[in-house]
Amino acid sequence: MDGHLGEELITLGVLFLIAYALGRLGKLIGLPTIPIYMLVGLIASPNFHLFPLSFESDYVALIAVFGLLLLLFNLGLEFDQDEFFGNAGKMLLSGGSYVLVNLSVGFGFGMLVGWGTREALVIAGMTATSSSAIVTKLLIELRRLANPETPMILGVTVVEDIFIAIYLAIVSVVLSGETDFWAVVLKLLVAFLFLAVMIAVARWGGRVVSRLVQTRDDELFALLIFALAVTFGGIGDLLGVTDAIGAFLIGLALGATRFRARIEALATPLRDVFAAFFFLNFGLLLDPTTFGDVLLPVGLAILLTLTLNLIAGQVIARVNGFGPQAGLNTAVILVNRGEFVLILATLAATAPGGGLDARLTPFAGLYVLAMALLGPVLASNSERIGGLFRRNRRSVRRQRAVDGERERTIALAEAAMAGEPAADEVAAGSADGQAAGAAELAAPDTEAVAVLEETAPDVESAREREQRLADAAREQAETLTEDDVRRSRQIDPEY
């Protein structure tokens, strides 16, 4: 790197201007900024030759690290400890079951991919958790904060945040390259001790921390917050729990102070700017020529994630007493993947032990791009998708009722033409059946009131037609002989 950075600064500025323009367009259709920053980095990558601008990752590598630290710092800062500890049982049941299902199936999928056990562990983490940033933004932009299922969704993301801290601590030790059993155990003990101490400080040391960080000068306060995030990131890295978790834990501790709102006001703009460097830098590291090697695994991972989330969403909704639509809303919101996938991919790419499959990086890039683009589209249309399923279910009910009416009417007609004494009984049964069918059709369906109003006239007209057939059959039965009836049945068995 020489002393003149004019060209690099212009290129970087133009790239962010492009990201800004694409971000404005993305907002119109509900897309988050994460995939947009990644795409801009991808087209400016030295590995992509169809774009006139090219930029080296080395120029922004350190700034990208700051972005990673501030992402996790804000995640810890925004963690609602009172909500978690006050409703821990239901949160752990909902969020824990969601993470466990996705993690276990994801690990099995990672083993089937055949890249290795450590790689399977990374893939399991990638498929297990949602993007808290995308989930929160979608809930706000789709105006669903007041929805009854929203606290349940946020509860799942809270449990995911705790899982991320623990999982990264474990994965960092596994990827360290340490082979001695007791050395691995010692690293895990140190990692969990650090986690326990910082969580204890966050839970019971809020007043002490408040006294240590208080200052009225906003400039010095912002500098202090940034310094703490970076310093504890370094401590976390040295202790083997990754720099990201060190930043998360100091954010957790500061979130317990009386300065939380003030810290958020200062840290959020910093996070947004530096996070743009992180996502842009990840795009710069991608090589489009390697995408062909991971297309099939990524496609299978997307299908697996969608399927598991649809199932998990319904299970979580039922556990919390909600209906199918709330379960669908939950599934399509939580299906979004983002920053945690990229954090795991970055951790794997820079693991001191080395030796991991190089395909993890393009796998993570394509997987995040696809899910971060597909997820918001599904989330914004979840009510419409749910209405389609309800309409189909109502159509099946209506068809069954009409078929039942037809069968009873045919039985009535046959009995009337045969002059059987049971005709009156059949007619009475038909009347009862009609009343039951009408009662079933008239029963209120809180999930499909609009559909019922649209389809009720069709059902009525079908019953009227069947009634006319029955009346005609009775009149015909008075003039037909038994031989005529037998000949009619031979000509038209349906009759």
Q: From its phi and psi, is residue 165 left (phi > 0), alpha (psi between -120 and 50) or beta?
A: alpha
Mean pLDDT to the nearest integer, 19-40 = 88
In a domain, 8, yes or no: no
pLDDT band at 85 (very low <50, low <70, confident <90, very high): confident
In a domain, 145, yes or no: yes
Number of structural domains, the chain? Answer: 2
Q: Which two tokens stand for residue 102?
A: 């996705």
Residue that finishes a domain, picked among 380, 406, 429: 380
Q: Report pLDDT digits (tens) over 362-412.
A: 999 999 999 988 988 888 888 888 888 776 666 656 666 666 666 777 766
In a domain, 67, yes or no: yes
Whether 144 has a pLDDT exceeding 50, the answer reads yes
Is 79 found in the same domain as 106? yes
Is 313 found in the same domain as 431? no
Is 467 found in the same domain as 342? no
Is 177 found in the same domain as 70? yes
In a domain, 92, yes or no: yes
Whether 446 has a pLDDT exceeding 50, the answer reads no
Is 337 found in the same domain as 219? yes
In a domain, 47, yes or no: yes
Is 313 found in the same domain as 415? no
- At residue 3, the pLDDT reads 63
- At residue 472, the pLDDT reads 62
How big is the CA angle at 468 (ends 467 and 474), to the nearest 5 degrees? 90
Residue that finishes a domain, picked among 321, 356, 380: 380
In a domain, 15, yes or no: no
Is 165 found in the same domain as 34? yes
Is 331 found in the same domain as 193? yes
Is 181 found in the same domain as 49? yes
Whether 480 has a pLDDT exceeding 80, the answer reads no
- At residue 232, the pLDDT reads 95
**Which of 299-302's residues contact partners 24+ apart within 8 Å by CB, and which partners?**
300/109, 301/109, 301/123, 301/126, 301/127, 301/363, 301/367, 302/367, 302/370, 302/371, 302/374
How many H helices and E strands in the chain?
21, 0
Q: Give me the domain span that covers residue 428.
A: 387-491
Q: What is the pTM of this model?
A: 0.72
- At residue 393, the pLDDT reads 64
What whole-number percentage of the chain has pLDDT above 70?
A: 78
| CATH number of 145's domain | 1.20.1530.20
Is 415 found in the same domain as 316? no
Q: For residue 445, with 0-12 CB atoms within 10 Å meaning exposed, 13-18 middle and 19 or more buried, which class applies? A: middle
Q: Which two tokens stand for residue 482?
A: 């038994």
pLDDT band at 422 (very low <50, low <70, confident <90, very high): very low
Whether 441 has a pLDDT exceeding 50, the answer reads no
Average pLDDT, whole number, for the chain? 81
Q: Which two tokens stand for residue 377?
A: 């589209």
Q: Report pLDDT digits (tens) over 49-59.
A: 888 878 888 88
Average the pLDDT over each of 22-26, 228-232, 456-460, 480-484 and give the range with the smallest value. Answer: 456-460
Average the pLDDT over each of 24-28, 101-105, 171-175, 180-184 and give the range with the smallest value. Answer: 180-184
Q: Report pLDDT digits (tens) over 304-340.
A: 999 999 999 999 999 888 999 999 999 999 999 988 8
Whether 65 has a pLDDT exceeding 80, the answer reads yes
Average the pLDDT over each of 78-92, 145-159, 414-428 and give the range with the smallest value. Answer: 414-428
Is 299 found in the same domain as 443? no
- At residue 75, the pLDDT reads 87
Whether 440 has a pLDDT exceeding 50, the answer reads no
What whole-number percentage of the chain has pLDDT above 90?
A: 37
One-character DSSP codes across 414-482: HHHHHT-TTHHHHHHHHHHHHHHHHHHHHS--TT-HHHHHHHHHHHHHHHHHHHHHHHHHHHHHTT--H
pLDDT band at 467 (very low <50, low <70, confident <90, very high): low
In a domain, 6, yes or no: no
Which residues does 319 contact at the CB level (< 8 Å), separation at least 6? 90, 93, 94, 97
Q: Which two tokens stand for residue 236?
A: 């976390």
In a domain, 276, yes or no: yes
Residue that finishes a domain, picked among 348, 380, 412: 380
pLDDT band at 224 (very low <50, low <70, confident <90, very high): very high
Whether 82 has a pLDDT exceeding 90, the answer reads no
Is 370 found in the same domain as 340? yes
Whether 489 has a pLDDT exceeding 70, the answer reads no
